[in-house]
Amino acid sequence: MYQKSYVDTSQELQAVKIDTIANRDGQQLRNFLIDTFTISGESVPKKYRLIITLKETKHQIGFRRDLTPRHTKITIDASFHLLDIHRGKTLLTDKVRAVASYSLGAQSSFGALSAETSEKSARSNALKALSNDIKLRVAAFLTTHNKPSAITERHNED
């Protein structure tokens, strides 16, 4: 019989303290991360600290004949560091990027409201994508980082 030792990745993710991230987008990203890292409601002692910084760029694309833009592309870059709280050591440093775009309506007040709603939706979708990418990278790291170096093999002689 073979007995495999494994890491409970969901428990390890719950042991990550997610630092406050600057500005409104940072708050929204942090909330998405907390929701995805916390599988159950139980409290787990924190072993890791996740520090994230965001950088956003916006570009207007697809211009009309009157040279007003048809679309705006938002690019959000997130740099993150996973630290071991007890040893004060950086375990993982990585970057992820999400791109979203939205259409700009007519230049009326209704079009402006629609564009604002479209921008919020596009930004939220980009932040959700960043959250998923960060979770996957941290989970993959924690799975391999905490994995026992060898599989325990036991033979039953029945």
Residue 119, SS3 per DSSP: helix
Mean pLDDT of successive 10-residue stretches along the chain, which has 158 residues:
56 94 96 90 88 93 74 93 95 96 62 70 94 96 71 38
User: So what's the pLDDT on residue 93?
Assistant: 97
> Mind listing the domains of the chain with CATH numbers?
9-145 (3.30.160.150)
pLDDT confidence of residue 137 = 97
- Contact between 63 and 70 under an 8 Å Cβ cutoff? The reply is yes
Query: How far is residue 33 from each of residues 10, 41, 67, 72, 100, measured CA to CA in Å?
Result: 13, 15, 39, 26, 19
Q: What pTM does this model have?
A: 0.80
Residue-level pLDDT at 148: 53
Residues 6+ apart with CB under 8 A from 144: none
